[in-house]
Each structure stands twice: as structure tokens, then as C-alpha cells.
Structure 1
Amino acid sequence: MSEQPRGAGRVPTGYAAETFISEYTFRQAHRAIEGNPDASNAKKRKREGKGDPSIVNGPGAYKGPWAKYEAERPDALSEDEFGEDEEVEYIYEEDEIEENPAPAPKKLAGTDYRDIEAEGETSEFVGSQQYDYQGRTYMHIPNDLDIKLTGDRGDTKNFIPKKHIHTFKYHTKSITQVRFFPGSGHLLLSASADTKIALWDVYHQRELLRTYSGHTKSVNDIDFSPDGTQFLSASYDRFMKLWDTETGKCLKKFSTGKTPHVLRFNPSSPHEFLSGMSDKKILQWDTRSGEMVQEYDHHLGAINTITFCDEDRRFVTTSDDKSVRAWEWGIPVPIKFIAEPHMFALVRSSAHPSGKYIAFQGSDNEITVYSSTDKFRQNRKKGYRGHNVAGYAPDVAISPDGNFVSSGDSGGYVCFWDWKTCKMYHKIQAGDAPILAVQWHPRETSRVVTGDLSGVLKYWD
């Protein structure tokens, strides 16, 4: 017998010896392992129904291939007792498994089909005083201040803030959006990735007034109605909710089963709003009926921004498809389409107070400007650089007098540029985490609020 070559049969886990086995013996062993239904040690388990593909949440929701197995069933069940679409799994038990049962697998968030709608919305007043001596709530615009919060703003000029004057503390995760109360700015609404929405007093004690809970995942956008009595919230739990600002009651819920990324009330039609969705569609909703009344479906990627222009008769949208599209209100065909090879995705937007321009935050560390009149084209002379976006989507905001452009920065700065010259005026170190939300106060000359990735809201003057 010839000597075996050195190292023959060695494998990383030990030594493998060559052996011969008849086909009959191999097939018998293979059948025993691969699921012979007649094997004495196999138990059948039935799968739950796959559900109805048209239902997203709740009882009977679509589960598809993620349907779980029901509790173990007796061996006596015949194949006929299982549904046509239902799969059967055979489990082979050994004595060792019974002695040392494996730990139950953790339930994954993606396959957790609990009924989100059943989790109710709650709101709590946490301020020091709900009514003043005349029985008015915080909705009443204060007139005991040294600044007039009603009427025409006039020719008030804006200045760049210099110092930090207050910190609003409540949120535990990233601030996603902040909004001042329309017109007066005496209240501030903030949304966060901790699923909560908070309402703050901007004057007097600058305290937390009311919290709104009801979303189960990060809230990614909020928007006040034109009169401020209601506001909308959008969340990654795929719901959009309409809230009463004063009572905290959730008035309506809207959902298509897709994630809403951006929401905007039509300023001239306060009972209608637009939502930009993750499935490339822009949807128009009526808050009175709760129904969707129009669908704008031309983008090729998730919607990032919606900006009204031309006295709210038109709006401009941007998307992950790196394009800009302009639409007539109510007509589902774009009137202008801009897509250049050098363009990057535009992630946030702000309309200029003059109504002639829209500034967009690009993911290439540049704020670009497009005209929002009939031409809808890029203003090549205006570009604001010097800040770093680094994969985030920091807000861009233009001062109420139109002279300054401001933006957040991934290094914790707030950057200010001159609108006309495009030169960076000033950079404020507003925190250690990236600054994602920036808004100018609609009435004050130099007040700005910022929100960062760690959940801190700061007020500047």
C-alpha cells in the first residue's frame, strides 16, 4: 500500500478520512434529516395567515414572508388542515434540546406588527399658569412687552445675534424642526427624534408650556396652520397628525402607509396641506374631510422640500433624485423641471421674504438660490459657502427683512451670510453637536433659535 501524502485529509477543524457509502444508505440518512413528514420525531407547526396586502397596520395587516409560526400543534393534524398559502415547518427535537432549551429570539422592530393606531395621543399642560387673570390661555398674544407683536412689521431691520440668552431643555434626542408662532412669534414649537413635540413660551418665563405625545417614532417635520390654532406633525411611524395647539387634542390622522418627509400648509387655503412622501409622491390633503384630494407623482426619489411661491398659486419641490420641479396648485403636471449633471440633492429650503427667490441647502456644502417667479431658474450669482453639511440636513433660514441667510453646520456652528454679497458675516459656536434647526424670530431684530443633534434648543440675541 502506497504511503499517504503528508497532510492528506487534514482540514482546519480536524482530520477528514475518506469513506464509501451506498446511494441507498445516503438517501435514507438524507431523508431523515431533510424533513420526512412521517418521521416519528417531527412535529408540525402552522404559520399565521399572510394577511391582506391592502392593510398596513392593525388586525389582518399584511405580514407576507414575515408571518410568525403559531403555537405547536398535535401530530394528528393532516396536511389538508393547513391553508393553501400557509407554510409548514417540521421541527426535529432531540433529548439535548429539551434539556437545554434555546433562548427565545428577540422580536425585531421591523416585524413587530402591533396596532400603532391603538396607541392614543396625549397632551399635557406643564406650564406654571394655564389662564391669566382674564381667563385667556397662552394663545393670547401678549401686549405687556416692549415690542409690538401684532400688525405690520414695517421696515424693521435685522442684525446678526451675538450672545446666547436662554436654553430650552426638555428633549432627549435630536431636534428635527422648530417653528415660531405665525405672525407674532410669542410661542415656539419644537419636534424631536424622541417622538415628542413641545410648545414653549418665548417671552416672560420662557418655560415649557405643553407637550404633545402620540407618535411612536421620530417626528421629522412640523408646520403651523396660517393662524397658528392648529399644527401638523409627520413622523417615521408613517402617520401625519393634525393637532389643536391650545388643547393638545389630536383632531385628525392621515396615512398612506409610507413615511412622510415634509409637510406644508397652503398659506392661502388653510384647510389644505401638502405632504412629501418617501415613495416619491407629493400628496394634497383636505383637513376637513381627512381625504387625499390630489397626487403629484413625477419625482424619482423621496421628497425633501416643499416651498410655496407666487402668492401660493404655485409650489416648488426637491427630491433625492437631484432635481427641482415647479407645480401649479391642484394640477398634477410640473410646469418646470430642472436637473443638471452637476446638481446635488437639495435637502432644506427657505423662501425669501420678497417672494422672488427660494434658497436651498445642498448636500454639497453650498446654499443655492432659484428664482420663484415665471422663470424658475438658478441664480448663478448667488451661492453661499463656508459651512459643512457632512451628510446631515441642516436647516436654512432667511431673516424677515431678507438681508441675511443663516444655516446650521455639522461642527456645531450657526453661519450667517449677507444676502447681497454672499460673504459670510459671522459664525457662532452654538454647541458641540451638529446644528440641524435654525429659525429667525418673525418680529425681533436679532433673535434666532437653534436646535442640535443632542436635543438642546438655544435662543440667541
Structure 2
Amino acid sequence: MADDSTVSAPAADPAPASATAKPSRPTDPDFLSCVLQPPTPSSSSSRPDADYAALRRFLLRRKPPSALHHRMEWRCNGKGYVAHRNFLLRRLDGGAASSSAHSTPGNSGRWFAAPATSEVDSWSSIRDLRSNSGVLSRTVSVSSKQSEPERHVRFAEPAYSFVGMHCIFDNCKASVTILKFGRASSDVLAYGSSDGSLTVCQVSDPPSVLQKLIGHSKDITDFDFSSNNQYIASCSMDKTVRVWEISKGTCIRVVYGVSSQLCISFHPVNNNLLLVGNANREINAINFSTGRVVSKVTFDNAVTALDIDHTGQLIFAGDAQGYIYSISVNSHTGSLSRSHKNKSCKSKSSITTIQYRTFSLVARCSVLLSCAQDGNLYFFSIATNAQGYLTLICSLKLASTVQNIRASFCPLLSLEKGEFIVTGSGDSNVYFYDLARPKNSCVNKLQGHGSPVIGVAWNHGENLLASSDSDGTVIVWKRAKSN
């Protein structure tokens, strides 16, 4: 079929009309039979006849403008005509489903268009759907004020597309401040809330709550799974660190501190070591078996976030003033020593996220992601041969927020050259950004929460994304399969 952008209307209306009469629908039987007949291949190619296609387009262009405005004002479940039509066509095209059957009754039936197109400035119509994945690959964007031929705009396929909600957990009545999937596990999810509770769930069919761990008296600030997913170590504003045995749902150890415990991580090589940052400007190395502090290192401000490299030799920690530190750790003894203090961050706000990645397609080395409370994101390369010296690659400024919103690296895509991250937002959306494209960094977003989104986390299989909000709702999104 010829491209629409080069199609022009026939020179004369096939139906006779007077010069003063208003245009009317053609009544000529030959014209109607030509318009309504099925497409027939031309003699020179297997493509449909060009005259037939042109006449069909000409007929569609004669629709009254009122029909277009009516479609623009149409609403269903709070979404517009375009989103609903795209949703239906995606189901017909490849069975790309909407919400999972395991959604809670109050949230069942929600649907979202996976492509990152917007209805704010224009209304769109589907021109082409990829037959393999069912993901929108090209749309036609038409301004509501235009009467000229359509303007054609090509959109790239979103880097991270989702088919809908896998499941929803809404049993928590307080803000969910942190959530994580189990290590090397695709179906175990845990989340901590501001009421001190820690909930462990399974997201495989059927999704269910396995344990609700009660013991902390104030906000859960962080937690971590052991390497075998048998234990969870959690820290809280109540100045304690607690170790839980998941299968029994019991607390087997409590370590008391003198200040709020703000971040925690199991050592990746020696799981008998717990690294804990606190408001007393310290990182403590705690013996998991005895609960005793075996080593500690002091900083200038409260330690609010930390992560450890895959070798277990370097700790990266962020403080309440936006500084990032590199700390050397002995995997056997747990002894700690400061290496570098990074001052390249312009933010003077508390660090909410520190995340290490072994390899980056952009930097071609180990990298670090940092997120501050004021909305600044920083992307660093790591010089492992220089004891964790950080070099700033790029930064991204998001909207400022009063929430401790977290961010996370996205799974690597072999066909993508960017460095993608996902983050919560104060406007109740989940956003995907490409740090390698600061001028056009937002590549997709997920809509479904009713309050600010605080936490985000990927599972080990990288096909599920969990997000939590300040109302206590946790949504697990199912990522679309990519070719």
C-alpha cells in the first residue's frame, strides 16, 4: 500500500453536485462498489490495488469533524479513546494481556498502553503493529486543529515495555519504604513499611503472602536477603538490627545501636558479615552469628545508603550531604578502611540509592548509580585498580521531592546502547530514563499507583518489576518479551 503521506484526494468528486450545494455522500453505485470491494492484487505485484486504497482513504477523510472531536473526548476507566483502542488492538494482535487475573478486586481491569506515547498534545492512531511482539512501532500523530493531510511521526519501540500488572499486594496500610526480590530468585519479594512491619511474599501463581515479620517499632529503613534466601537482616529507625528466619517467621537475633540504623547489606562473599550504616556517621561490620561489631569506620555525616561490589572488597556508601565514599573491606576479618571521598556530586541532599553494577555497555567497566533526595541522579565509572575511585559520566535532574524515592539500574538489553534506569516519582508514576541521552532521557513510564512511588526493584529473572507507594500498595509489573 502506498504511504499515506503522499496520497492526495481525487481531482473531482465522483458524485455530481451543484456548485452551491453542500457536499453530500456519494450515491453513485459504481463508486460505492469500488470503495466497498475487497482489495485485489495488481497485475504487476502482490500488493493491493493503489486506486482502491486511495478511494478508501478519501472516504475516511470525508468524515465530519464532530466525529473526531467526539473520539477525543471519549473516556473509559479514566483513559482516552486512543489508549483503549491500542489496548484492544494489542490483544487482538498478539494476546498482549492487560492486568493479571491475580489482581485484587479493587484494581482488577486496569489496563495501560505500553508504548510511551502521550495524549496530552495530540491524539494518535495505530498505523503499524509488529506482528511478533505486539508492541507499537509506528503511530500517526494528528493535531486536533489541523485540517491538512496527517503529519506522520515515527516513534521508536520503548526500551522497556510491559504487558500489564502481574499482581498487586495492598494488605499494608502504611507507606512501603523499601522492597527487594530475593537473591537469585524470581518469585520471592519482601517489602518493609513505615509501621515497622516486614512482609515476605511469593509472586508466582498464585501470588500470596508467606510471612509478616513483626518486631520493629518504627520505620523499616532497609533490609537484605542472605545468599540462600533463608534469612533477612533488617534495620530501622528504632535503632535496632534484626535477623529473621523466613521459613519460621521469627526473629532470631537483635543488635541494638545508639542511633537510627539506615542501610544494611550482607557481604556477598562472606555471608557471616553484615555491613550496617547508621545516623551516628558509622558503618559497622557485624558478625552474623554472634551479633558483635567486629569493625567500624567513621564518616562526616550519617550514612544513608550503601552497596558492595561483586568481589566483596569495596563498599560504596552515600551520606546525608550527598557525598559518596569508597571503603575497602577484608572479606575474612571484616576490617574496614576508607579509600576515597567523592566530591563530584553537586547535590547536598541525602543519598537515597547506591547501586553497583559489574559491567556497563556505555562505560565498558564497573559503574555506580547514585540517587539523591532532591532528584539528582549520578552515573559513575569505577576504577577498581585505584581502590574504587569514581569518575562522573553523566547526571540527570528530576523533579525535587520530599520523599526518599529510590532508583535502580534496568536489565541490560543487548540491542540497546543506552544506560537505562527506573525510578519512582512524586506524581505517582514509574519512569524509565536513559542516562546516555540527557536531552531525551525519558523512554517510558508506568501508570497505576495512586500516590507517590517510593521503591522500585527488579527480580533476578529481570521479567518482573516491583514498585511501592506511600499508600502501602505494591504492584508487580510483567515485562513484555523482547525479540
TM-score, normalised to structure 1's length?
A: 0.62
**Cα contact 1:400–1:442 (8 A) shared by 2:** no
Q: Which amino acid aligns with 1:406?
A: V
Q: Which amino acid aligns with 1:396?
A: A
Tell me whether 1:382 sits opposite 2:394 in the alignment: yes
The aligned counterpart of 1:427 is 445
Tell me whether 1:393 sits opposite 2:409 in the alignment: no
Q: CA deviation at 1:217?
A: 1.5
C-alpha distance 169-310 of structure 1, shift in aligned 2 (>3 A): closer
Pairing 1:86-97 to 2, within 5 Å after superposition: none
CA deviation vs aligned residue, 1:218-244 (integer Å, no higher than 9, x gap): 212111011111011111111110011
Q: Which amino acid aligns with 2:476?
A: Y
The aligned counterpart of 2:315 is 315
Q: Which amino acid aligns with 2:306?
A: I
The aligned counterpart of 1:326 is 326
Distance in 1, matches of 2:324 and 2:436, equals 23
Pairing 1:257-336 to 2, within 5 Å after superposition: 257-297=258-298, 299-309=299-309, 311-330=311-330, 331-336=335-340
**Cα contact 2:322–2:372 (8 A) shared by 1:** no
Distance in 1, matches of 2:346 and 2:406, equals 22
CA deviation vs aligned residue, 1:416-440 (integer Å, no higher than 9, x gap): 0235435210122232311111011
Tell me whether 1:370 sits opposite 2:371 in the alignment: no
Distance in 2, matches of 1:228 and 1:373, equals 31
Distance in 2, matches of 1:353 and 1:418, equals 18
Distance in 2, matches of 1:341 and 1:197, equals 33
C-alpha distance 302-353 of structure 1, shift in aligned 2 (>3 A): same
C-alpha distance 160-193 of structure 1, shift in aligned 2 (>3 A): same
Q: How many residues align?
A: 302
The aligned counterpart of 1:347 is 352
Distance in 1, matches of 2:311 and 2:336, equals 19
Q: Which amino acid aligns with 2:465?
A: V
SS of equivalent residue, structure 1 residue 436: strand
Distance in 2, matches of 1:442 and 1:229, equals 16
SS of equivalent residue, structure 2 residue 412: coil
The aligned counterpart of 1:31 is none
C-alpha distance 226-419 of structure 1, shift in aligned 2 (>3 A): farther
CA deviation vs aligned residue, 1:165-220 (integer Å, no higher than 9, x gap): 32112111000111111102211111111221111111111111211111112212
Distance in 1, matches of 2:310 and 2:241, equals 26
Q: Which amino acid aligns with 1:329?
A: V
Match of 1:443 among 458, 461, 469: 461
Q: Which amino acid aligns with 1:317?
A: A
The aligned counterpart of 1:227 is 228
**Cα contact 1:310–1:372 (8 A) shared by 2:** no
The aligned counterpart of 1:69 is none
C-alpha distance 363-213 of structure 1, shift in aligned 2 (>3 A): closer
**Cα contact 2:345–2:378 (8 A) shared by 1:** no
SS of equivalent residue, structure 2 residue 301: coil
**Cα contact 2:160–2:444 (8 A) shared by 1:** no
The structure where helix makes up a greater share of residues is 2
Distance in 2, matches of 1:205 and 1:160, equals 23
Runs of 5+ consecutive residues of structure 2 not aligned to the other structure: 1-158, 360-364, 414-418, 479-483
**Cα contact 2:259–2:280 (8 A) shared by 1:** yes
Distance in 2, matches of 1:288 and 1:341, equals 37
Tell me whether 1:203 sits opposite 2:207 in the alignment: no
Distance in 1, matches of 2:446 and 2:346, equals 30
Q: Which amino acid aligns with 1:351?
A: Y
Q: CA deviation at 1:293?
A: 0.2
C-alpha distance 230-459 of structure 1, shift in aligned 2 (>3 A): same
Deviates more, 1:348-357 or 1:248-257: 348-357
C-alpha distance 389-171 of structure 1, shift in aligned 2 (>3 A): farther
Pairing 1:409-420 to 2, within 5 Å after superposition: 409-420=425-436
C-alpha distance 390-278 of structure 1, shift in aligned 2 (>3 A): same
Match of 1:406 among 418, 422, 427: 422
C-alpha distance 358-348 of structure 1, shift in aligned 2 (>3 A): same
**Cα contact 2:395–2:435 (8 A) shared by 1:** no
Pairing 1:49-88 to 2, within 5 Å after superposition: none
Pairing 1:36-51 to 2, within 5 Å after superposition: none
Pairing 1:96-115 to 2, within 5 Å after superposition: none
Q: CA deviation at 1:339?
A: 2.3
Tell me whether 1:452 sits opposite 2:453 in the alignment: no
SS of equivalent residue, structure 2 residue 195: coil
Q: CA deviation at 1:245?
A: 1.2
C-alpha distance 321-365 of structure 1, shift in aligned 2 (>3 A): closer
SS of equivalent residue, structure 1 residue 270: coil
The aligned counterpart of 1:192 is 193
**Cα contact 1:370–1:377 (8 A) shared by 2:** no
The aligned counterpart of 1:138 is none
Q: CA deviation at 1:411?
A: 1.2
Q: Which amino acid aligns with 2:166?
A: I
Runs of 5+ consecutive residues of structure 1 not aligned to the other structure: 1-157
Q: Give the RMSD, CA atoms, in angstroms.
A: 2.1
Q: Which amino acid aligns with 2:376?
A: E
Q: Which amino acid aligns with 2:472?
A: G
Q: Which amino acid aligns with 1:429?
A: Q
C-alpha distance 344-162 of structure 1, shift in aligned 2 (>3 A): farther
The aligned counterpart of 1:338 is 342
Percent identity over the alignment is: 16
**Cα contact 2:309–2:358 (8 A) shared by 1:** no
